[in-house]
């Protein structure tokens, strides 16, 4: 399953010190919804086309539904390295 990254953000980890990247994707794909539900909302993503250190990395993420229909937030379990270029937010493969 491949999805365009709509947006990148940064949040503080539960320890209040470390920063974690967050990405947003849009999908109404029932296969995606079934997949995340069957995996307790924890997934492995491959990130590409950001022109950053995140490219070609496999990263564990936790999926949450947002209040916007068909938009999902994925909190990545890795160090925050900054925003990619606004013109190159990238894609993920699950």
The pLDDT of residue 86 is above 90: no
H or E element at residue 76? strand 71-76
Residue 32 CA to its chain's centroid (Å): 13
- Determine the 3-state secondary structure of 32 from DSSP: helix
> Is the predicted pLDDT of residue 36 greater than 90, yes or no?
yes
pTM: 0.93
The Cα-based distances of 40 to 2, 37, 62, 63, 77 in angstroms read 20, 5, 9, 9, 15
Interacting residues of 55 by C-beta distance below 8 A, sequence separation 6+: 47, 48, 49, 90
pLDDT at position 22: 97
| Domains of the chain with bracketed CATH | 2-93 (2.40.30)
User: 54-74, pLDDT tens digit by residue?
Assistant: 999 999 999 999 999 999 999
Q: Quick one: DSSP state of residue 84?
A: P
């Amino acid at each position: 399953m491949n999805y365009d990254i709509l947006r990148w953000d940064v949040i503080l980890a539960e320890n209040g010190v470390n920063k974690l990247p967050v990405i947003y994707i849009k999908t109404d794909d029932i296969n995606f919804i079934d997949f995340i539900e069957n995996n307790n909302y924890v997934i492995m993503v491959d990130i590409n086309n950001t022109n950053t250190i995140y490219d070609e990395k496999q990263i564990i993420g936790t999926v949450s539904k947002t209040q916007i229909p068909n938009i999902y937030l994925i909190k990545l379990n890795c160090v925050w390295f900054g925003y990619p270029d606004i013109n190159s937010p990238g894609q993920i493969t699950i």
